[in-house]
């Protein structure tokens, strides 16, 4: 753990990862301190980049994004310009929830969320296949979610 985090900071981060809407008063009570130090610590954790942002976790089925696909992409050209161009274009595609630049056989891994198989087909034809420099595309579809976490385990 970085030297700038003490046990209280770690406890705050663990609690906020589970529920960032917890009132500071309740957080202070849980950690046996007062509200003022909690406010200060949280401001510092945000300022120092430990907390990047607060978000709401949306149920994908409720917003018609129940089909999740993991797509590996291999590019034809690996020049800096080609890589940057691909990354810039992929950032504009709303269906792409995550994009990772990888080492190994494939260059990128995308997590894509769409309504259904028809939605994926439309995305693949109208968006993914239209990207220049895409060589190989290999997709796997999620059958069931066994584990999904957004919180990092901190000690």
Q: What does the pLDDT look like over 2-37, one tens digit per residue?
A: 668 999 999 999 999 999 999 999 999 999 999 999
Q: Are residues 41 and 69 in the same domain?
A: no
Q: Are residues 69 and 112 in the same domain?
A: yes
127: tokens are 């968006």
Q: Is 77 helix (H, G, I), strand (E, B) or coil?
A: coil
Q: Could you tell me if 110 and 95 are in contact, meaning their C-beta atoms sit under 8 angstroms apart?
A: no
The reply to whether 126 falls in a domain is yes
Q: What is the pLDDT of residue 4?
A: 84
Q: Please, what sign has the CA dihedral across residues 15, 16, 18, 21?
A: positive
The reply to whether 52 falls in a domain is no
Domain that holds residue 13: 7-47
Using CA atoms, how far residue 58 sits from 6, 65, 92, in Å, is 32, 10, 20
76: tokens are 């034809």
> What would the pLDDT profile of 48-89 be if each residue is shown by its tens digit?
999 999 999 999 999 999 999 999 999 999 999 999 999 999
The reply to whether 86 falls in a domain is yes
The reply to whether 96 falls in a domain is yes
Q: Are residues 24 and 79 in the same domain?
A: no
Q: Are residues 33 and 79 in the same domain?
A: no
First-to-last alpha carbon distance for the chain, in angstroms, is: 8
The reply to whether 149 falls in a domain is no
Q: What is the pLDDT of residue 6?
A: 94
Count of C-beta atoms within a 10 Å radius of residue 26: 13
Q: Are residues 66 and 136 in the same domain?
A: yes
Q: Are residues 67 and 32 in the same domain?
A: no
The reply to whether 85 falls in a domain is yes
CATH number reported for the structural domain that contains residue 119 in this entry:
3.30.70.920
Q: Are residues 99 and 123 in the same domain?
A: yes
């Amino acid at each position: 753990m970085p030297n700038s985090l003490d046990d209280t900071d770690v406890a705050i981060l663990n609690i906020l990862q589970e529920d960032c809407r917890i009132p500071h008063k309740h957080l202070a009570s849980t950690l046996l301190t007062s509200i003022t130090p909690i406010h200060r610590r949280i401001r510092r954790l945000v300022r120092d980049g430990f907390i990047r942002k607060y978000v709401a976790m949306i149920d994908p089925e409720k917003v018609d994004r129940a089909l999740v696909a993991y797509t590996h992409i291999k590019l034809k050209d690996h020049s800096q310009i080609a890589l940057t161009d691909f990354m810039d274009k992929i950032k504009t595609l709303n269906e792409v929830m995550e994009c990772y630049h990888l080492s190994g056989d494939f260059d990128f891994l995308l997590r894509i969320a769409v309504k259904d198989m028809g939605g994926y087909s439309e995305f693949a034809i109208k968006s993914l296949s239209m990207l220049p420099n895409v060589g190989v595309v290999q997709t796997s579809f999620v059958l069931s979610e066994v584990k999904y976490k957004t919180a990092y385990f901190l000690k």
